[in-house]
């Protein structure tokens, strides 16, 4: 569980306290829910790559790519703040990655082994592959 860092009196300074700019070090989007062995094999192939994870939020599957925004300056400030994209302008500090208690994911697969174990526990697909012991792709 994440620690709640909410500063009730000073929302304008939250971004300065949030190092290393958590919200600017990944992007995620919804994907189709896997339902066939081939779908899960595709997800296993994707998560075998560095800086990729999957999560389930409100019964919907998402892929998360852990990568730093090219516009973050060395001191974690937005280099294009005044002209930043819509999705950045809409991101609220009220319940962001820094101030929220947790992401609210029902599942977060940070490694090949995490996803493989989930598949074996929840589906009848048979995979001979055992745990790889490879460390998670993200923190």
First to last CA, the chain: 13
Helices 37-47, 112-122: axis angle to 10 degrees equals: 160
Give pLDDT tens digits for 60-79: 999 999 999 999 999 888 99
**Whether the model pTM is above 0.85:** no
pLDDT tens digits along 81-125 = 899 999 988 887 776 777 665 677 899 999 999 999 999 999 998
Write the CB contacts of 125 (distance below 8 Å, at least 6 apart in sequence).
Answer: 37, 40, 119
pLDDT tens-digit map of 23-42 = 899 999 999 999 999 999 99
Q: Are 27 and 65 in contact (CB under 8 A)?
A: yes
**Could you tell me the two tokens for 78?**
């937005």
Per-residue model confidence (pLDDT) at position 96: 75
As a whole number, the mean pLDDT across the chain is: 85
To the nearest 10°, the Cα dihedral for 71, 77, 78, 82?
A: -150
């Amino acid at each position: 569980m994440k620690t709640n860092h909410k500063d009730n009196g000073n929302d304008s300074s939250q971004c300065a306290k949030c190092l290393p700019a958590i919200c600017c070090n990944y992007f995620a989007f919804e994907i189709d829910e896997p339902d066939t062995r081939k779908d899960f094999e595709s997800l296993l192939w994707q998560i075998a790559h560095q800086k990729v994870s999957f999560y389930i939020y409100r019964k919907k599957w998402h892929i998360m790519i852990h990568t730093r925004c090219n516009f973050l300056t060395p001191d974690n400030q937005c280099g294009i703040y005044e002209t930043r994209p819509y999705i950045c302008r809409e991101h609220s500090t009220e319940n962001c990655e820094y101030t929220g208690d947790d992401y609210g994911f029902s599942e977060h697969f940070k490694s090949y082994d995490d996803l493989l174990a989930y598949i074996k526990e929840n589906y009848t697909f048979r995979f001979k592959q055992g745990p790889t012991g490879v460390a998670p792709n993200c923190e």
